[in-house]
Amino acid sequence: MFSQDKGRIEYMKMPCKMLKGISQRDYTLYLPPGYDAEKAEKYPVLYLLHGGGCEDTQWVTDGHLPDVADSLINNHIVPKMVIVCPEANKNKMIWFNDPDWTYEDFFFKEFVPYIESHYRVLNDKSNRSLAGFSMGGGGSVVYGVHHPEYFNMVYAMSSYLRRQPLEFLKNDPLGEWRQTVVERNNPIKYVAECQQTKINELNTVRWFIDCGDDDFTLEGNMDLIKTFRSRGARYQFRVKDGNHNWDYWRPALVEAIKNAFINK
């Protein structure tokens, strides 16, 4: 028996100017083993987006993020990395832009610059990756197609990609607004209609689309893959036994971290 080096989880807040009526935003941070001692070292960074009705902290509580990352790092399967989980559930729960909720602008113009100026992370495309589940999986795909110059990899789990008739949203006062914004940012339509130059840019990202065979988002994910194929976009598609829950996302998180950075 031996003790493994452990990373550190921090629950943090940052100042916020771009989200209407909000002065602070939460985020959860994983710092790898040795971060405090290796003062000159900089690390690649993986951003993890959570699902609808969830919080940034659930990557730790339900996804077992520190145990997964520590194990993969200590067994030399992945390089040391910083992992950042932003919060989008409070107030509105949407990763996209709307006139009164400019979260995508906040993410790229405030959140990423804040993280990359306050922590020792490498701030180029080859050292920046993105993953998420459910609404956060859809957010990951949309961010990847809107900003392919930012990301080395996008790993999307059970992605909610377009409007769907969902019983559990009927009593949600913001449900219709949320569905409208999701459909407005539908990445299937975006990829189908974009110029070939954009497809060439998408091919600089390593795309992983991962969805359970019993998941209510499966058809949308399959339609995204059909569109990728028809436009000549490169991808990897994984369909395994499973549903829209943490039993599926926990092993998917392992794969996302394993594939986040290659040749490091």
Q: In this predicted model, what pLDDT tens digit does every residue of 163-177 receive, in sequence order?
A: 988 776 777 788 888
Give domain status of residue 46, yes or no. Answer: yes
pLDDT reading at 263 higher than 90: no
Give domain status of residue 264, yes or no. Answer: no
Q: What is the mean pLDDT of the chain?
A: 94
pLDDT (0 to 100) of residue 164: 87
Q: How many domains does the chain have?
A: 1
pLDDT (0 to 100) of residue 38: 82
What confidence category does residue 59 fall into, taking pLDDT thresholds of 50, 70 and 90? Answer: very high
Give domain status of residue 2, yes or no. Answer: no
Summarised one tens digit per residue, pLDDT across range 210-237 is 999 999 999 999 999 999 999 999 999 9
Query: When comparing pLDDT for 210 and 264, which is higher?
Result: 210
CA–CA distance, 51 with 72 (Å, rounded to integer): 24
CATH number of domain containing 252: 3.40.50.1820
Summarised one tens digit per residue, pLDDT across range 196-215 is 999 999 999 999 999 999 99
The 3-class secondary structure across 161-176, one letter per residue, is CCCCCCHHHCCCCCHH
Give domain status of residue 95, yes or no. Answer: yes
CA–CA distance, 128 with 250 (Å, rounded to integer): 21
Q: Global pTM? A: 0.95
pLDDT (0 to 100) of residue 1: 37
What confidence category does residue 2 fall into, taking pLDDT thresholds of 50, 70 and 90? Answer: very low
Query: When comparing pLDDT for 185 and 21, which is higher?
Result: 185
Give domain status of residue 228, yes or no. Answer: yes
Give domain status of residue 97, yes or no. Answer: yes
Query: Which residue range is the domain that position 106 belongs to?
Result: 8-259
Give domain status of residue 1, yes or no. Answer: no
Q: Phi, psi (5° rounding) for residue 150?
A: -90, -30
Crossing angle between the packed helical segments 65-74 and 246-259, to the nearest 10 degrees: 30
Counting beta carbons within 10 angstroms of the beta carbon of residue 124, is it exposed (0 to 12), middle (13 to 18) or buried (19 or more)? exposed
CA–CA distance, 36 with 9 (Å, rounded to integer): 13
In 3D space, the residue among 42, 43, 44, 14 whose CA is nearest the CA of residue 28 turns out to be 14
CA–CA distance, 163 with 158 (Å, rounded to integer): 14
What confidence category does residue 102 fall into, taking pLDDT thresholds of 50, 70 and 90? Answer: very high
Own/partner contacts of 2-6, CB < 8 Å, gap of 24 or more, are: 4/33, 4/70, 4/71, 4/74, 5/33, 5/34, 5/70, 5/73, 5/74, 6/33, 6/66, 6/70
CA–CA distance, 79 with 257 (Å, rounded to integer): 10
Give domain status of residue 246, yes or no. Answer: yes
pLDDT reading at 33 higher than 50: yes
